[in-house]
Amino acid sequence: MYTVMLKAKLHMARVTHAVLNYEGSCAIDGDLLDMSGIRENEQIQIYNVENGQRFTTYAIRAEEGSQVISINGAAAHLAGPGDRVIICSYGHYSEAELDAHQPALVYLKEGNDVSHTSNAIPVQLA
């Protein structure tokens, strides 16, 4: 049996572009892809913090150091420049892999600069 677990997260990325007439996908700064472990053409989930939209697409590489987060194709109707989004990828892990699994969490600040990284989400307090 496999369990679907969070593999990687880019937290509070700022959308820089929305290109409707593109064949699809989400272009992400190559440095952020490498840091998070999200691979080109990997399925990703995008959660728009501004309007609650949630959608699935795939990642493509934008120029390293560009700080680009571009929502392309039909998804450009769901997120636009300036919106804050959370970008997640998930993986299927065997029971043997679960104990050692830690997601790659990349927290971003304004301008899509990295604030910090982590491998654990803090416990939510009451």
DSSP for 68-119 reads -EEEEGGGGGT--TT-EEEEEEEEEEEHHHHTT---EEEEEEGGGEEEEEES
Q: Is 117 annotated in some ligand binding site? A: no
Give the active site residue among 47, 58, 90, 107.
Answer: 58
How do beta strands 84-94 and 26-29 pair? Answer: unpaired
| Residue 2 among the catalytic residues | no
Q: Is 76 annotated in some ligand binding site? A: no
Closest CA to 47 of 12, 74, 77: 12
Give the active site residue among 25, 36, 70, 89.
Answer: 25
Q: Is 73 annotated in some ligand binding site? A: yes
| Residue 94 among the catalytic residues | no
Q: Is 100 annotated in some ligand binding site? A: no
Q: How far, in whole angstroms, is CA 14 from its chain's centroid?
A: 11
Please state the residue numbers annotated as binding site for substrate: 57, 73-75
Please state the residue numbers annotated as binding site: 57, 73-75
Catalytic residues: 25, 58
